[in-house]
Amino acid sequence: MSDPISEEEKLELGALLARVSAARDFPTNTDGASRHVQLAAECLAAGGRYAMFEDDPAAIASSMLATVAALYETRTELARLKTPSPPSQEGTT
């Protein structure tokens, strides 16, 4: 059995839950995998257990990996969009 969630951890989890709620814009910026991971995290943050970790670990692992892949891909795309393009060399010859 795991240790109970400390008061400090409860505060941190509460802040993260608020951050998730503020960022979520269903269905615009969510998908099935991210909603699945959010549900699991909310269960754990409330001090409960999430049965799929034992009953169907491949399903929750798939959702977690899809969510992390989407996060990494989005960060890469944002970095690309934030990088200034070099000036066009058209018509300079």
Inside any domain, residue 91: no
Is the pLDDT higher at 69 or at 92? 69
What integer pLDDT is reported at residue 92 of this predicted model?
Answer: 64
- Structural domain for 67, as ranges: 7-79
pLDDT of residue 1 exceeding 70: no
45 in any annotated domain? yes
Kindly calculate the radius of gyration of the chain based on its CA atoms and give it in whole angstroms.
19
CB half-sphere exposure, 57, CA atoms < 13 A = 2
pLDDT digit string, tens, across residues 27-56: 999 999 999 999 999 999 999 999 999 999
Q: Is the pLDDT of residue 11 over 90?
A: yes
Total domains in the chain come to 1
- Buried b / exposed e over 42-60, threshold 16 CB at 10 Å, is eeebeeeeeebeeeeeeeb
Please give the model's pTM, rounded to 2 decimal places. 0.83
Predicted confidence at residue 93, as pLDDT, reads 59
